């Protein structure tokens, strides 16, 4: 049995790409982490942080659980 899979079938790859996308969107100002001047102002930043943490955990889980090596094609 072949113990490989294509790169695009990897959960680790997809979670990492999504995490990078969120980081780039925040960096470019596409996702605004400001919503007022009270405690609510921390909400969007917290949500973005939780999304990034969740995607990072998904990446780590995918890598630990992986049983096949990736092929480039």
Instruction: Report the pLDDT value the prediction gives residue 68, as an integer from 0 to 100.
Output: 86
Determine the pLDDT at residue 73. Answer: 66
Alpha helices, DSSP H only, in the chain?
11-27, 42-65
Q: Please answer whether residues 16 and 70 qualify as being in contact, where contact means their C-beta atoms are separated by less than 8 angstroms.
A: no
Taking the model in full, what pTM does it have?
0.66
Domain boundaries, given as residue ranges, for the chain: 39-68
Confidence at residue 39, expressed as pLDDT on a 0 to 100 scale: 47
Residue with tokens 């470019």: 28
- Helix-helix angle 11-27:42-65, to 10 degrees: 160
pLDDT of residue 61: 87
């Amino acid at each position: 049995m072949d113990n490989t899979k294509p790169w695009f079938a990897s959960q680790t790859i997809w979670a990492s790409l999504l995490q990078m996308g969120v980081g780039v969107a925040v960096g470019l100002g596409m996702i605004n982490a400001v919503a007022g001047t009270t405690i609510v102002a921390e909400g969007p930043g917290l949500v973005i942080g939780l999304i990034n943490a969740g995607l990072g955990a998904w990446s780590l889980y995918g890598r630990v659980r992986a049983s096949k090596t990736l092929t480039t094609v």
